[in-house]
Chains A and B, each alone.
Chain A
Amino acid sequence: MPWNLDSDRPIFIQIIEKIQMDIISGQYAPGDKLPSVRELAMQASVNPNTMQKALSELERTGLVYAKRTSGRYITEDTTMITNLKTTLAKDIVAQFLDNMQRLGIQEEDVISLISEYIEGDKHDTVRM
């Protein structure tokens, strides 16, 4: 099953995002071995060079590290993974607030909207 990649953004960036997400969501546990470049390239239906570039970038940030002869591993530094999770969550919030602003909704109203939504969601679950 090829990964869901858009053609209008650099592919290597989308690969980085996908692997980051897999790490945060626990698909890959800290210390897990990553498949080889070629295997990952096949999974994603992308060129091995593009996959290589994405993995090198992940290595540069420290999220992934290479052992000389045995391949690449996910970092065992759980603080780093937590920090990444926080950063990505903040990005999503920033994007969301941006959209709300475009709709002309004030920040305090956004908060009440969210509370109402969460409450409503709970009621829905109860009813079900």
Chain B
Amino acid sequence: MLFPSFLNILKETNMTLLECKNLTKNYGNHTALSDVSFQIDAGHIIGLLGPNGSGKTTLMKLIAGLLGATSGSIYVREEPVGPGSKNIISYLPDHSYLDGNMRVQDIIDFFADFYEDFDSLRAYDMMAKLQINPRQKLKTLSKGTQEKVQLILVMSRHASLYILDEPLAGVDPAARDYILDTILSNYDENASILISTHLISDIENILDEVIFIQDGTLHTHASVDELRERDNKSIDTIFREVFKC
């Protein structure tokens, strides 16, 4: 356990963890992201919020290195996205990519083989708390439970940047609370979490900052408490007003 005064020293260095510069992504004629620039410091939890089709998943895939940008650049700890950045980014995609025939314990072994920073003990511990039997095959679990398994796997890495694309969508409210607590208690002070979700009211109290994206462009990037102070409204309410249909 680090002392608070030591944490202060670490925080004051305020290292830029992620920098996106003039990021544009086209799919054929369609522009998914247009000239997006922002920075994220180490040790923050950032909500990535925007309506359906606003470019959240595209942005997350670009940062995770699964897509290439049409133009612009992304730096993770001042290095361009590549094998080095993949080592320190733990990414939860918006759909499952695991083999449903594998048992949960086999997937844990698989992750432990694949990622040096994977903590099997932490994974088993979280599985036990959420009453997931590691001997069960993934495909025999409910949709929500499968989502929990994937989130546990992603959060069991000791990464510097966690990118979570809609991690709570299929998870019941009680487990949601447990997962948020787990995120808060496990993430280390120098790691950052970028999290996209539509369940704003569930997560807004744990956020430091929000990024609103609209039609592929950056609308707002601000501290959540500054926004609340400015408008006397919750982030959920501000979102509903900004993106009113």
Contacts and interface: CB of A to CB of B under 8 A. Distances in A.
B208 interface: yes
A49 B204 contact: no
Instruction: State the main secondary structure of chain A at its contact with B.
Output: mixed
Contacts of B201: 7
B7 interface: yes
Interface in A28-80: 36-38, 41-42, 45-50, 52-53, 55, 66, 68-72
Contact of B184 (A47, A53, A69, A70): A47
B185 A9 contact: no
A42 B206 contact: no
Given A42-B184, A45-B181, A66-B5, A8 B232 contact: yes
Interface residues of A, number: 29
B207 interface: yes
A39 B113 CA distance: 33
A7 B225 contact: no
Interface residues of B, number: 33
Contact of B205 (A11, A37, A66): A11
B233 interface: yes
B228 A11 contact: yes
Contacts of B228: 7-11
B25 interface: no
A65 to B, nearest CB: 12
B4 A11 contact: no
Contacts of A46: 184, 205-206
Interface stretch (B81-89, B134-142, B161-169, B234-242): B234-242
Given A11-B228, A68-B5, A42 B189 contact: no
Contacts, number: 76
B180 A8 contact: no
A69 B225 contact: no
Nearest to A7: B234
A71 B3 contact: yes
A90 B207 CA distance: 33
B181 A66 contact: no
Contacts of B177: 45
B5 A69 contact: yes
A42 B225 contact: no
Interface in B154-181: 177, 180-181
B7 A37 contact: yes
Contact of A49 (B208, B232, B234): B208
Contacts of A6: 234
A40 B3 CA distance: 14
B4 A71 contact: yes
A51 B44 CA distance: 13
Contacts of A69: 3, 5
Nearest to B226: A10
12 contacts: A11-B224, A11-B228, A36-B1, A38-B1, A45-B181, A46-B206, A47-B45, A47-B207, A47-B208, A52-B7, A52-B11, A69-B3
List the 10 shortest-distance A-B pairs measured between CB atoms, nearest first.
Answer: A7-B234, A10-B225, A8-B234, A10-B228, A10-B229, A47-B206, A8-B233, A49-B208, A46-B205, A37-B4
Given A47-B45, A48-B184, 13 more contacts: A8-B232, A10-B226, A38-B1, A42-B181, A45-B184, A47-B184, A47-B206, A48-B189, A49-B208, A52-B7, A52-B11, A53-B225, A70-B3
